Structure 1
Amino acid sequence: MFKLFSAIKTLKPPTDDALAAKHQAPYFRDALQTSVSKHQLSPSQLQYAIFNYLPNWVQGLMSLRNKVVKWFGFEVGVNNMQPVSDELNVGDKAGFLTIIEKTDDEIISHADDKHMTFYLSVKKQGKDVIVSSLVNQKTTIGRIYVNAILPFHYFIARIVINNAIKANRI
């Protein structure tokens, strides 16, 4: 499977970035890095270029997920992560996420419910982009959920980044 995603590097999650300051045990954290050919794109535009083009099967899985997890008290508003614009500001929605921080080199969004808080960071670093997620698990149900979806998260995160690379959006 690594050859399928050879342009995407798995990083050890940073311990000195904005997301590291937000972690609360127990938590899950990951970080993926790839080269960017469109260096003029802002972090917001990179987030748009990656997540505005989710495959239909991913959107279908999100819809199925929402139908199941709502019975356990999870927030299930929007079925996707598609932002409405390629330039987002603090307070704007990107699908089920809300932008909470924005700098020249990073945009951070989050979603929160009683079981967990999810954060997504898209950060420009030189000629690369680092996409990182953090999930603070507040309850036992939140921990079970995160462990159950990790194989899907692993694959889907790489698929959407890889699709953005192949389509020359980033």
Structure 2
Amino acid sequence: MSLSNYPVIAVAPPPHSRVAGLYPKTHLYDAYSIELPPGASGDPETLARFVFAQSPAWMAALMAIRDALVAGFGLKTAGKLRSSGADGGERVGIFRIYEKRPSEIVLGEDDKHLDFRLSVLCQPSASNSGARRLIVSTAVHCHNRLGRTYIFIIAPFHRLIVRSSLRHAARIGWPPERSAGRE
């Protein structure tokens, strides 16, 4: 199917998102939006878990390369992040959950080179058609030169990965809205 069937658009980060204004200075701040079909879940945690569990294989290869490169600098690898959930902190994939709200979940991680937060926000479409949009926003604050260099290098990959992850999830089919009587 054509990518035009699943348009992911760059949007201004929503000012009401929990990541808006989070850091005194951001070194990367972007947002991407996709329309959810009727009947799709509107629960941000369900949607986040679905999007990050459905990543194409090429993304795993990119993460393996990233991990091999950053491990020498003492930065957290994907394997270390996944296993850090054992300390009692709840995670969605490699991301720590910082906050849950009815329409938004905030994920992220802090490391010695940078801190970042990722918002997965479900909101009504601006067209008032009853449609909903899923907006993924990322805010990154770098602590030092290593963080600024890292974000400069990975920013193009980040944009590609967010857009591709949303398209891939749409192609597979979003999880359905749960009915009130089901768990």
Q: Summarize the alignment of residues 1-170 of structure 1 with structure 2, pairs less than 5 Å apart.
A: 7-37=7-37, 38-78=39-79, 91-126=89-124, 127-169=132-174
Q: Which residue number in structure 2 is paired with residue 87 of structure 1?
A: none
Deviation by residue 1:17-59 (Cα, 9 ceiling, x = unmatched): 2101312324211101111114433101111221101111111
Change (3 A) 1:161 1:80: farther
Q: Spell out, residue by residue over 1:51-98, the C-alpha distance to the aligned partner (whole angstroms, 9 max, x if none).
A: 1011111111101101111212211142888xx9xxxxx941122211
- Deviation of 1:5 (Å): 8.0
How big is the alpha-carbon RMSD for the aligned residues of Structure 1 and Structure 2?
2.3
Matched AA of 2:50: A
Residue-pair matches, total: 161
Q: Percent identity?
A: 29
TM-score relative to the length of structure 2: 0.79
CA shift for structure 1 position 120: 1.0
Summarize the Cα distance change of 1:63–1:80 in structure 2 as closer, same or farther, 3 Å threshold: farther
Distance 1:5 1:30 in 2: 22
* Partner-residue secondary structure (3-state), 2:119: strand
Looking at structure 2, the residues matched to 165 and 76 of structure 1 have their Cα atoms a distance apart, in angstroms, of: 28
* TM-score normalised per structure 1: 0.85
Query: Once the 2 structures are TM-superposed, how far is the Cα of residue 115 of structure 1 from its aligned partner?
Result: 0.2
| Unaligned segments of structure 2, at least 5 residues | 125-131, 176-183
Distance in 2 (CA, whole Å) between partners of 1:62 and 1:169 is 24
Q: Distance in 2 between matches of 1:104 and 1:34?
A: 19
Larger RCO of the pair (alpha carbons < 8 Å, separation 6+): 2
**What SS is found at the alignment partner of 1:78?**
helix
Gap runs ≥5 in structure 1: 85-89
Structure 1 residues 119-160: Cα deviation after superposition (integer angstroms, max 9, x where no partner): 111001011110111111111110001010111111111111
Q: Write the distance in 1 (CA, Å) between the matches of 2:79 and 2:104.
A: 23
